[in-house]
Amino acid sequence: MTTVRIPPTLRPSVGGERQVPAQGETVRELLDDLTSRFPALREQLVEDDDIAPFVNVYVEGEDVRTLDGIETPVQYGSTVILLPAMAGGSR
Amino acid sequence: MPGYRELLAHLRAEIDEVDTTSARDLTDAVFVDIREQDEWDEGHIPGALHVSRGHLESRIETAVPDKARQVVLYCAVGNRSVFATKTLEDLGYANVVSLAGGYVDWKRNGFPTQLPQSLSPDQRSRYSRHLLIPEVGVEGQTKLLNSRVLLIGAGGLGSPSSLYLAAAGVGTLGIVDDDRVDASNLQRQIAHSTETLGDWKVDSAKRTLEALNPDVNVLTYKERLTSENIERILGDGWDVIVDGADNFPTRYLVNDASVWHDVPVVHGSIYRFEGQVTVFRPGDGPCYRCLFPTPPPPELAPSCAEGGVLGVLPGIVGSLQANETIKLLLGIGDPLVGRLLLFDALATEFNEVKLRKDASCPVCGESPTITEYIDYVEFCTRAGSAVG
């Protein structure tokens, strides 16, 4: 079981949870598991069968794009962070 | 017992000396001025450290921790430095030389000198808590007073960061903002007040900051940062940019300009209960485009105006930005380069993820494909993003 941290902008798609458990041995399997249970997440995370370019996925603090991308293995018990860009600051 | 002259001659034969012309080429050596405060105040060798001879034994190991490093000691004419050289050798410094002829000979040769900037009595009092910290001290405070920081936005993030930078004595603050103070701002934008409702934010902020610290010169840019005006604004010369923008086109514009102008950006962003902080330092880490090659579609990136933000959150994130900025200006500590700090106000939890430079980044990568300003609004719209 892996804990996936859900950023505030994606929480409405997972019933408001800050983090949800997910199954999978790679980022792809993890995202498949998540999006099968929360279908609204799919278009917000996946584009052309890959991680959408405006979302970063971190496994144990490392950007998976610097590892094996969507095929990056995920160890049992590790923490995964989903991180889309936030613009807010001024107004 | 030998007298002073015999002792001096005896020690001079024991230690190594260097003449001023050769010393000038010792670019890796650290110069230590051992004269008294009043002598130092009248001018010294640029870059030299000041440790008066009376404090030499107790303070040199803090000033020069590396005992293998070459040290050039100097005084006025090269006599006191002979005794000091012996002292440093006794303390285990392996490579110490005395500057023959001292500062007088250095000056006579027309070599560069520097007048130390001293603080006024008012400044010594105002910044006394900084002066007590060895990492800041008079030298660091002087650096801050001579520093120039450009703030993008005088809103939620710009308010706390500009207040702390002004309080710290950062001598010149530039503020870019084209908005007026609205009642809905005051829940978090603490540089403004009920009295300045309706005023330009840059004017309101300038009043607050200069009232806090008259040492600070606030330059206001009452305009929205665009491809058309950014070169003019950056042309005024800035040491650090603090990015507290509220929209993606400005974020990408600031990023590209900072890479091309080689100015570090202290980035902060906030939404509801969460904040992100990092430092993009060109040449030394990733840029914003390495982190987010494209902006998200609008439904994934609601602004604070749409989604709301906890009022205190920008206070925390903006203060972290001020902290990073001061570290960059002073050259101390470990700035958030290559690290993205995530703050969750509900859980009161900080997390950190690693950021890496993307070799294929279109702006800071090995073969850049973007080398001049683009239409940032169009770029973000094309990516499906909202503006503002």
In this prediction, residue B387 has a pLDDT band, given cuts at 50, 70 and 90, of very low
Alpha-carbon distance values, B234 to A50, B188, B230, B325, B371 (Å): 38, 28, 6, 17, 17
Cross-chain residue pair A87–B294, CB shorter than 8 Å: no
Residue A53 exposed, middle or buried by CB count within 10 Å (0-12, 13-18, 19+): middle
Residue A35, helix vs strand vs coil: helix
User: Checking DSSP bridges between strand A46-47 and strand B274-280, what pairing results, if any?
Assistant: unpaired
> Does B385 have pLDDT greater than 60?
no
- C-alpha dihedral (B208, B214, B216, B218), degrees to nearest 10: 50
Residue pair B34/B84 in contact (Cβ under 8 Å)? The answer is yes
Residue of chain A with shortest Cα separation from B180: A91
How many Å apart are CA B304 and CA A9, to the nearest integer? 11
Cross-chain residue pair B354–A63, CB shorter than 8 Å: yes
Cα of B387 to nearest chain A Cα, Å:
10
Find all residues with CB under 8 Å of B243, minimum gap 6, and list them: A89, B152, B153, B251, B254, B265, B266, B267, B268
Cross-chain residue pair A87–B303, CB shorter than 8 Å: yes
Cross-chain residue pair B273–A56, CB shorter than 8 Å: no
Residue of chain A with shortest Cα separation from B271: A88
How many Å apart are CA A20 and CA B317, to the nearest integer? 26
A56 touches chain B (CB under 8 A): yes
Rounded average pLDDT over B142-154: 96
A44 contacts in chain B (CB < 8 Å)? 299-300
Residue of chain A with shortest Cα separation from B151: A90
A63 touches chain B (CB under 8 A): yes
Question: What pTM does this model have?
Answer: 0.78
A58 touches chain B (CB under 8 A): yes
Q: Which of B223, B294, B300 to mutate to test the interface with A (most CBs of A within 10 A)?
A: B300
Residue pair A19/B344 in contact (Cβ under 8 Å)? The answer is no
CATH code, B4-108: 3.40.250.10
> DSSP string spanning B40-77?
HHT-B-TT-EE--GGGHHHHHHHH---TTS-EEEE-SS
How many Å apart are CA B321 and CA A22, to the nearest integer? 34
- pLDDT digits 0-9 by tens, B27-82: 899 999 999 988 888 889 998 999 999 999 999 998 999 999 999 999 999 999 99
Residue pair B353/B268 in contact (Cβ under 8 Å)? The answer is no
Cα of A60 to nearest chain B Cα, Å:
8
Cross-chain residue pair B243–A89, CB shorter than 8 Å: yes
CB-nearest to B295 from A9, A54, A58 is: A54
B347 contacts in chain A (CB < 8 Å)? 18
How many Å apart are CA B170 and CA B165, to the nearest integer? 6
Phi-psi region of B368 (alpha: psi -120 to 50; beta: other; left: phi over 0): beta
Cα of B352 to nearest chain A Cα, Å:
7
Q: What is the mean pLDDT of chain B?
A: 93
Cross-chain residue pair A81–B352, CB shorter than 8 Å: no
Residue with tokens 């997910």: A22
ipTM: 0.90
Domain with CATH 3.40.50.720 in chain B: 147-382
- pLDDT digits 0-9 by tens, B239-284: 999 999 988 999 999 999 999 999 999 999 998 899 999 999 998 9
Cross-chain residue pair B271–A86, CB shorter than 8 Å: yes
Cα of A19 to nearest chain B Cα, Å:
12
- pLDDT digits 0-9 by tens, B293-322: 888 877 667 777 777 899 999 999 999 999
> Does A91 have pLDDT greater than 60?
no
Q: Which of B254, B266, B353 to mutate to test the interface with A (most CBs of A within 10 A)?
A: B353
- Tell me what pLDDT residue B377 has: 87
Domain with CATH 3.40.250.10 in chain B: 4-108
Q: Which CATH class is domain B147-382?
A: alpha beta
Q: Which domains does chain A have, with CATH numbers?
A: 2-84 (3.10.20.30)
Which of B157, B159, B125 is closest to B141 using CA atoms? B125
How many Å apart are CA B20 and CA B104, to the nearest integer? 10
Cross-chain residue pair B296–A54, CB shorter than 8 Å: yes
Rounded average pLDDT over B115-120: 80
How many Å apart are CA B253 and CA B270, to the nearest integer? 19
Q: What is the mean pLDDT of chain A?
A: 90
Rounded average pLDDT over B197-213: 98
CB-nearest to B271 from A9, A18, A54 is: A9
Alpha-carbon distance values, B80 to B8, B52, B96, B245 (Å): 9, 11, 14, 56
A 5-44 residues inside an 8 A Cβ radius of B: 5, 7-10, 18, 44
B342 contacts in chain A (CB < 8 Å)? 81, 83
For residue B195 the two structure tokens come to 């009295």
Cα of B231 to nearest chain A Cα, Å:
22
- Amino acid identity of residue B145, one-letter, is L
CB-nearest to B153 from A52, A54, A89 is: A89
DSSP code for B23: H
